[in-house]
Amino acid sequence: AQTVTQSQPEMSVQEAETVTLSCTYDTSESDYYLFWYKQPPSRQMILVIRQEAYKQQNATENRFSVNFQKAAKSFSLKISDSQLGDAAMYFCAYRSAGGLNTGTASKLTFGTGTRLQVTL
């Protein structure tokens, strides 16, 4: 079974600064997807960024980028120019590519989350 580990329960960053959230995962599969979700106080789960394991290029979405190290099974999220609205819980998640098993492929395995605080 896959596991996802987020070792930083809480992080703090000053507005306009850069912060990196860590995520490691364990899998025996070679094809999979990785995600970062943001959960603000509203509780809504919002997809921030995704990475396909077969792509060597790190994904980027505006101020959000990832450092995907497949051999090390590491998937960190970098937030640049942090804004007050970035304050939230951030979850790293893993999803198998699945092949013929659509049920297995559709399941998300989440880490325990990192609470990000943004200060003035």
* Matching residue, tokens 């603000």: 40
Number of residues located near other proteins, criterion CB under 8 A: 24
Instruction: Please state, in angstroms and rounded to a whole number, the distance separating the CA atoms of residues 60 and 84.
Output: 20
For residue 43, state whether it binds other proteins (rule: CB under 8 A): yes
Strand partners, 3: 26
Instruction: Please state, in angstroms and rounded to a whole number, the distance separating the CA atoms of residues 68 and 55.
Output: 9
Nearer to other proteins, 19 or 35 (CB): 35
- The torsion defined by the Cα of 42, 44, 45 and 49, in degrees rounded to 10, comes to -70
Minimum distance, C-beta of residue 90 to other proteins, in the bound complex (Å): 11
For residue 41, state whether it binds other proteins (rule: CB under 8 A): no
Which span sits near other proteins by CB under 8 A: 21-29, 64-72, 80-88, 94-102? Answer: 94-102
Instruction: Please state, in angstroms and rounded to a whole number, the distance separating the CA atoms of residues 75 and 11.
Output: 17
Nearer to other proteins, 26 or 81 (CB): 26
- Each residue 49-88 as x (binds other proteins by CB under 8 A) or -, in order, gives -x-x------------------------------------
Instruction: Please state, in angstroms and rounded to a whole number, the distance separating the CA atoms of residues 41 and 91.
Output: 14
> Residues in the site for other proteins, rule: CB under 8 A?
4, 9, 33, 42-45, 47, 50, 52, 91, 95, 98, 102-103, 105-113
